[in-house]
């Protein structure tokens, strides 16, 4: 494929409400939107999900910008590629920086699907025309706030609720949600905030019939998760620990988790997501779902496509645009049906149009990169 231009936009999107996790709190969410344009005039969009600081991963919006501008885009121009599925290999000379890689690679998948006039989800082998939507609820000031927020999401139809926990905000909020809201599909996400010394707390959480406990221990602690898996009856789900196929293989061999979530940003793109999906869901037949990173409508389109794959067996962290932002940057915005699903789009690529004027307005900087012969 012959590229004419790659444009990076650093956008800052104001969330409707503060999103707090064990590693910090966000009200203004940065992202880098990657726009690729080919010779014929078709374009594609991807999203870099790195945050403001190196908390969830070592990447930040600034490191990703530098890596894209100085290494990834020039490497792509230099090496070229024919199919989106090969882009990961073309970029593998750069070690790590999966979020930066994913934003660029996603844009090329969107472009390829648009050139072939089919929805991205069909292009990657999706099998369902709607995906199950769950909601991830940040740490709240009080348990009363939590009940109010969770109830309103349940009223909207979301199929399961995930609450963020940290030491000091764990057993009590879960107990109150179970007491007030009963037997709802409920899980928790610790974002690596515990160690095995907190076993007593984790054992308390084990009593609430949670669907899973997500990433309780450190991101490098596959052995600790294996130990914990044997001590609890609640399944462990890994997020931060799974940065690629080798991590998934190690987690399986060690018995660190029964469930994983897949986030294209964390694993380096769509092809890497497909590879992990194939191993975990198809070869092993184990449960998997698609995670989110508070994406704009662009990244959300890529998540929706992945969530249509066979064997995605739990509701995903893919909520409607209005759960995050007053106004999304795509048309139409992503919406939730009453039954708690989001329809997969019929239009080509990610299936939504990017409103470039809105992107420009949300941007703090922009750069256009062109191949030497352009
Ligand atoms: O751990 O899943 C996570 C958001 C930012 C960083 C990490 C996580 C999250 C979420 C949000 O839980 C899920 C969503 O996008 O709805
Ligand atoms: Mg998580």
pLDDT in tens, 149-160: 999 999 999 999
Asked about 164 being catalytic, the answer comes back as: yes
Answer whether 28's CB lies under 8 Å from 19's CB.
Answer: no
Q: Which residues partner with 363 through β-bridges?
A: 11
List, by residue range, all CATH 3.20.20.120 domains of the chain.
122-343
Model pLDDT for residues 69-120, shown as the tens digit of each residue: 999 999 999 999 999 999 998 999 999 999 999 999 999 999 999 999 999 9
- Reported as a pLDDT band with limits 50, 70 and 90, residue 374 is low
Which one of the ligands is nearest to 291 CA?
A: 1
Model pLDDT for residues 310-350, shown as the tens digit of each residue: 999 999 999 999 999 999 999 999 999 999 999 999 999 99
Share of the chain above pLDDT 90, in %: 99
Q: Residues 27, 70, 101, 164: which is the catalytic one?
A: 164
Enter the pTM of the model: 0.98
> What pLDDT, on the 0 to 100 scale, is given for residue 344?
98
Reduced to 3 states (helix: H, G, I; strand: E, B; else coil), residue 218 is: coil
Give the number of other Cβ atoms within 10 Å of residue 209's Cβ: 11
Model pLDDT for residues 262-320, shown as the tens digit of each residue: 999 999 999 999 999 999 999 999 999 999 999 999 999 999 999 999 999 999 999 99
Which residues lie with the beta carbon below 6 Å from any ligand 1 atom? Answer: 56, 136, 189, 191, 239, 291-294, 317, 319
Model pLDDT for residues 137-186, shown as the tens digit of each residue: 999 999 999 999 999 999 999 999 999 999 999 999 999 999 999 999 99
The protein residue whose alpha carbon is closest to atom 12 in ligand 1 is 136
- Which residues are within 5 Å of ligand 2 (an ion), measured at CB? 189, 214, 239
Residue 216 pLDDT exceeds 80: yes
> What pLDDT, on the 0 to 100 scale, is given for residue 373?
75
Give the Å distance between the CA of 191 and the centre of ligand 2: 6
Reduced to 3 states (helix: H, G, I; strand: E, B; else coil), residue 60 is: strand
Q: Residues 101, 263, 346, 370: which is the catalytic one?
A: 263
DSSP string, 5-35: EEEEEEEEEEEEEEEEETTEEEEEEEEEEEE
- Give, as one character, the DSSP assignment of residue 208: G
Asked about 233 being catalytic, the answer comes back as: no
Which one of the ligands is nearest to 25 CA?
A: 1
Helices (H), the chain: 61-67, 73-79, 87-90, 98-115, 120-123, 143-156, 171-181, 199-205, 222-231, 245-254, 264-267, 270-277, 297-307, 321-324, 356-362
- Architecture of the domain made up of 122-343: Alpha-Beta Barrel (3.20)
Displacement of CA 144 from its chain's centroid (Å): 28
Question: Which of the listed residues 21, 22, 290 should we mutate to test ligand 1's pocket, taking the one with most ligand atoms within 8 A of CB?
Answer: 21
Average pLDDT of the chain, as a whole number:
97
Q: Which are the contacts of 168, defined by CB distance < 8 A and separation ≥ 6?
A: none
Which one of the ligands is nearest to 237 CA?
A: 2
Model pLDDT for residues 101-115, shown as the tens digit of each residue: 999 999 999 999 999
List, by residue range, all CATH 3.30.390.10 domains of the chain.
3-117+355-369
Reduced to 3 states (helix: H, G, I; strand: E, B; else coil), residue 278 is: helix
CATH 3.30.390.10 is held by the domain 3-117+355-369: yes
């Amino acid at each position: 494929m012959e590229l004419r231009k790659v444009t990076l936009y650093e956008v800052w999107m104001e969330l409707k409400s503060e999103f707090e996790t064990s590693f910090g709190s966000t009200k203004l969410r940065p992202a880098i939107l990657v726009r690729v344009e080919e010779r014929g005039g078709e374009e594609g969009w991807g999203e870099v999900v790195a945050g403001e600081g190196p908390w969830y991963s070592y990447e930040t919006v600034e490191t990703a910008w530098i890596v894209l501008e100085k290494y990834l885009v020039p490497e792509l121009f230099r090496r070229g590629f024919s199919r989106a599925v090969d882009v990961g290999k073309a970029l593998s000379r750069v070690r790590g920086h999966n979020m930066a890689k994913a934003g660029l690679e996603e844009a090329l998948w969107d472009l390829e699907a648009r050139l072939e006039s089919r929805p991205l989800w069909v292009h990657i082998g999706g099998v369902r025309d709607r995906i199950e939507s769950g909601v991830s609820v940040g740490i709240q000031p009080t348990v009363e706030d939590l009940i109010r927020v969770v109830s309103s999401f349940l009223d909207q139809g979301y199929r399961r609720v995930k609450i963020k926990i940290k030491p000091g905000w764990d057993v009590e909020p879960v107990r109150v949600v179970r007491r007030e809201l009963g037997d709802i599909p409920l899980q928790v996400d610790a974002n690596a905030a515990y160690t095995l010394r907190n076993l007593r707390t984790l054992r308390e959480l084990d009593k609430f019939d949670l669907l899973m406990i997500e990433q309780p221990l450190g991101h490098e602690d596959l052995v600790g998760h294996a130990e914990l898996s044997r001590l609890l009856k609640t399944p462990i789900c890994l997020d931060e620990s799974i940065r690629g196929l080798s991590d998934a293989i190690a987690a399986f061999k060690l018995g660190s988790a029964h469930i994983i979530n897949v986030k294209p940003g964390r694993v380096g793109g769509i092809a890497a997501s497909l590879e992990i999906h194939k191993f975990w869901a198809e070869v092993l037949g184990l449960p998997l779902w698609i995670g989110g990173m508070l994406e704009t409508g662009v990244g959300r389109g890529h998540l929706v496509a992945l969530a249509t794959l066979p064997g995605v067996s739990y509701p995903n962290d893919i909520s409607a645009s209005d759960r995050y932002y007053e106004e999304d940057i795509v048309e139409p915005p992503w919406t939730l049906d009453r039954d708690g699903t989001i329809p997969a789009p019929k239009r080509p690529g990610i299936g939504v149009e990017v409103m470039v004027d809105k992107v420009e307005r949300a941007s703090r900087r922009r750069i256009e990169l062109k191949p030497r012969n352009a």
